[in-house]
């Protein structure tokens, strides 16, 4: 089973490109994810992950996300390799996203400094109710 779930902040704006021949959109960006512990100096370290989002969700990421925005990513870890112009083989490990959730409104990320304390009472995730659950329309329920 290959399943990755991450919550972090974008380290730069997403880059959107279209695949030659097919025109299929793909967005790429990286996120910083805080570790659950602090180091010997009392500072929290972070890990950085490259994210790839295909199709319409990729276009949405490029249009609505920016550096500093918090997102939740669900996807699969994938490794690929390519050859440089010098003939060297390079390996890249990235998360291919199946689902991307925007966890805060645009105004919050631009006007307030990020908090390391987790969810706050004033925090309202986009598309989620105050309990943190996805709001569903009765027509979306399959039974």
Q: Is 115 exposed, middle or buried (0-12, 13-18, 19+ CB in 10 A)?
A: exposed
Spatial CA neighbour of 120 closest among 101, 104, 136, 102: 104
C-alpha to C-alpha distances, 20 to 15, 17, 25, 80, nearest whole angstrom: 16, 9, 10, 19
Residues 6+ apart with CB under 8 A from 77: 2, 4, 93, 94, 95
Q: Picking from 5-9, 73-77, 101-105, which range would have the lowest pLDDT averaged per residue?
A: 101-105
From the list 25, 80, 78, 81, the residue with the least C-alpha distance to 53 is 25
pLDDT at residue number 140: 52
Nearest to 77 by CA among 45, 106, 99, 49: 49
pTM of the model: 0.71
In this predicted model, what pLDDT tens digit does every residue of 94-122 receive, in sequence order?
Answer: 999 999 999 987 665 555 544 443 433 33
CA distance 63 to 65: 6
The model's confidence at residue 131, banded by pLDDT at 50, 70 and 90, is very low
Give pLDDT, residue 40: 87
Average per-residue pLDDT in the chain?
Answer: 82
Predicted confidence at residue 39, as pLDDT, reads 87
pLDDT of 138 strictly over 90 = no
Q: Which domains does the chain have, with CATH numbers?
A: 4-140 (2.40.50.140)
CA–CA separation, 125 and 108 (whole Å): 10
């Amino acid at each position: 089973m290959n399943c990755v779930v991450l919550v972090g902040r974008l380290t730069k704006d997403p880059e959107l490109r279209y695949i030659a021949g097919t025109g299929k959109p793909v967005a790429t960006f990286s996120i910083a994810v805080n570790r659950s512990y602090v180091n010997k100096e009392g500072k929290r370290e972070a890990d950085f992950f490259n994210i790839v989002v295909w199709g319409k969700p990729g276009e949405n990421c490029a249009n609505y996300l920016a550096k500093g925005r918090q997102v939740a990513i669900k996807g699969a870890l994938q490794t690929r390799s390519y050859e440089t112009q010098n003939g060297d083989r390079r390996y890249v490990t990235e998360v291919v996203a199946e689902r991307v959730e925007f966890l805060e409104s645009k105004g919050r990320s631009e006007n307030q400094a990020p908090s390391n304390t987790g969810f706050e009472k004033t925090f309202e995730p986009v598309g989620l109710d105050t309990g943190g659950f996805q709001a569903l329309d009765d027509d979306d329920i399959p039974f």
